[in-house]
Structure 1
């Protein structure tokens, strides 16, 4: 059994000043709070990833660090990937995941919409269409190796976002 947790980064500052980079946008105080709320839900349900992967964008890294601190994962061990920010297809992400065959039964990925939502929807047979900031979906796969992951083969174990807890 493999478990994949897909997270949209937490709430960020708006990009009003176009001389600033989208890549460098930071979390708002609300984003910090929301990320901690959802990470604590995972902790309470004992869903603990053994591998953290994030986009290199500042807001995704900050979200990943909050989850890591809450879930007891070393923030310096978070794997940072540029392609998660740049965009990817479902088949590209599945190919990327296939390299993690031993020691990583539960992987968490922090990314951006629309890619993280599209990837989620393509992996499951459920109808999920709402992916607000800090949305976290836990998907189970009845496989022994990440090389065996297939489109529409995942089963949603948990689908949560901050407004569910207000």
Structure 2
């Protein structure tokens, strides 16, 4: 299968808290996450599956993003997305092939610094120039990167995906 899309969504702005896994979204985060859903819907980019970190702020981000999409999306919570590094994120994506190879669009919803590192590692340098510049400037909360790739999920490797867009969703989107 060709023409697959990978969406990387960094969770929206969260409140401070003593227990990291339980930190909820801040009011601005709730608004920004909803804007991320509208952004994806307007672009016609809707995942078949979303793989989430178990962190509360990530689950809340996804709930708000999902509310803006017009179709149901399969959701998996994977602890590896919380305790992540770039190599682990590659494995999470590769596992999508083994679990359901027919997935054409996969979203990961999680955290920095690994999401920024993963996105930069994936970038083949052939995509949207402005998006690439924004990505390299930082991956703030509610950052949404959309990549296109050919081949199976298990073939994803450094510099094997084309960055089509990188946007920072804000409540006014």
TM-score if structure 1 supplies the norm length? 0.87
Q: How many angstroms apart in 1 are the aligned matches of 2:115 and 2:156?
A: 16
Q: Match for 1:94 among 71, 78, 90?
A: 90
**Alignment match, 1:84:** 81
Offset at residue 119 of structure 1 (A): 0.8
Give CA-to-partner distance per residue, 1:122-157, whole Å, 9 cap, x none. 1003452211100000011122x1111111111111
| Partner of residue 125, structure 1 | 124
In 2, Cα distance between the equivalents of 1:119 and 1:80? 19
SS in 2 for 1:159: strand
Deviations 1:42-66 (A, max 9, x none): 1011111000111000001111111
Deviations 1:85-126 (A, max 9, x none): 1122x2322222223232211001111110111111110034
Is residue 2:117 matched to residue 1:115? no
The offset of 1:68, in angstroms, is: 1.5
* Runs ≥4 residues deviating over 6 A: none
TM-score (norm 2): 0.84
- 2:15 equivalent among 9, 13, 16: 13
Note the residue ranges of structure 1 that are not aligned, 5 or more in a row. none
1:48 corresponds to which of 25, 36, 46: 46
Cα distance in 2 for partners of 1:63, 1:109 equals 12
Question: What's the C-alpha RMSD, in Å, of the aligned pairs?
Answer: 1.9
Segments of 5+ residues of structure 2 without an aligned counterpart are 126-131
